[in-house]
Amino acid sequence: MAVSSETVALLLGAEGNPFARRLRGATRAVRSIGRRPLGAFGLVTIAFVVLMALLGGALAPQNPLSTASFDFAHRMQGPSGAHWLGTDESGRDLLSQFLLGARVSLIVGLAAGIASAVIGSVVGICAGYFGGWVDRALTFLDDWFLVIPFVPFAVLMAALLQDDARRIPGGRTGIIVLVLAITGWAGTTRIVRAQVLSLREREFVERARSQGASHFWIMRRHILPNVMPIVWANSVLIVALSVLGEAGLSYFGLGDPDSFSWGTVLYNGFQAGAINQGAWWYVLPPGAAITLFVLAFFAVGQVIEDAAGPRARAR
């Protein structure tokens, strides 16, 4: 990370600017992750994918959806000077599809990850803080979502929602985000609840109550900030799992046929019989990209957990 936190603060102006302060804190956090080799690998890979997502549209040699891209004379051809990553069954450039795919994979992963983290934290905090029957009901729900088998449930749900694609923001991509969010929050809830159970007995919570604070105030001001480190560590993993889940659902043909994600490219390759024909250039790049991207998130998650978890201090 070449940019120092001081430079960032300077660029943003005054020392007292709360936004600048916040950004400085964030820069510091990112830099401390980058200091560990594992974290550096993760951050560089993620940064690379983010860049691809941002610039993919501009960098892609052709738009795979335009009719001009179809070139049936050059179907299923290996990498060449004209097509660095070869062509698909319709003669379209695979590099373009690969570059465009980063955006969908990243957006779906982030959206589903954030949604899971938000649902998971809210449910976990409510269950742990209120206890009693609220806890029992929410924990029951949580257990239920933890044990349902992901693949059949997600496939079934995505399939059933296909007809409503037009009414859901984001169309079929939106459906995938929804399905991943609904199946992804339960793990976060479990961890957050466990943490809140011990937090709510801490004396500063009683002090806040003796100050006349409401339950909502205590949850927002004291419980949430104290569980944020584990929420962060966990969300990073959920983003990774969502990227994987998106690829999986797309591979089952549940993705948006009009947009390209790494998962849909894999699906198309499978449909076109790329594996039988030995067309490695069709499936290898998106497959490797997904693997690396997911590994990068796991690496960052591991570093955050090491820094925030009590196990690290014990060592």
Partner 1 sequence: MSDPVLRVDDLHVGYSIGGADVEIVSGVSFELQRGEALGLAGESGCGKTTTALAILQLLDPFLRRLSGTIDLTTENGVVHIHRRTERGMRDLRWAEISLVFQGALNALDPVQRISRQIGDAIRLHDPEADRAAVRERVRELLERVGISPERARQYPHEFSGGMRQRVMIALALACDPEVIIADEPTTALDVMTQAQVLALLEELRRDLGLALLLITHDLAVIAETCERVAVMYAGRIVETGPTATVFAVPQHPYTQRLLGAFPQVGTERALPPAIPGSPPDPADPPSGCRFHPRCHLAREACSHGEMALRPVGDDHESACLFAPLQQTAVGGGVR
Is residue 16 involved in binding partner 1 (CB under 8 A)? no
Q: How many residues bind partner 1 (CB under 8 A)?
A: 17
CB of 218 to partner 1, least distance (A): 10
Based on CB atoms, which residue is closest to partner 1, 15 or 143? Answer: 15
Q: How far apart are CA 264 and CA 294, in angstroms?
A: 17
Q: Which stretch binds partner 1 (CB under 8 A): 68-76, 145-153, 219-227, 245-253?
A: 219-227
**98 exposed, middle or buried (CB, 10 Å; 0-12, 13-18, 19+)?**
buried
Based on CB atoms, which residue is closest to partner 1, 147 or 314? Answer: 314
> Exactly one of 221, 257, 277, 291 binds partner 1 (CB under 8 A); which one?
221
From residue 185 to residue 214, the character string flagging contacts with partner 1 as x (rule: CB under 8 A) and all else as - is -----------------xxx-xxxxxxxxx
Cα 62 to Cα 59, 94, 95, 158, 187, distances in angstroms: 9, 10, 9, 30, 41
Based on CB atoms, which residue is closest to partner 1, 9 or 168? Answer: 9
Output the six-digit token pair for 229.
């480190």
CB of 198 to partner 1, least distance (A): 12
Q: How far apart are CA 137 and CA 148, in angstroms?
A: 17
Task: Provide the b/e sequence for 182-205 (b: ≥16 CB within 10 Å).
Answer: bbbbbbbbbbbbebbeebbeeeeb
Q: How far apart are CA 282 and CA 226, in angstroms?
A: 46
CB of 295 to partner 1, least distance (A): 31
- The one-letter code for the residue type at 1 is M
Q: Which residues contact 76 (CB under 8 A, 6 or more apart)?
A: 86, 87, 88, 89, 272, 274, 277, 279, 282
> Exactly one of 157, 226, 295, 309 binds partner 1 (CB under 8 A); which one?
226
CB of 209 to partner 1, least distance (A): 6
CB of 23 to partner 1, least distance (A): 17
CB of 31 to partner 1, least distance (A): 20
> Is residue 254 a contact partner of residue 176, using CB atoms and an 8 Å limit?
yes
Report the interface residues with partner 1, using CB under 8 A. 202-204, 206-214, 217, 221-222, 225-226
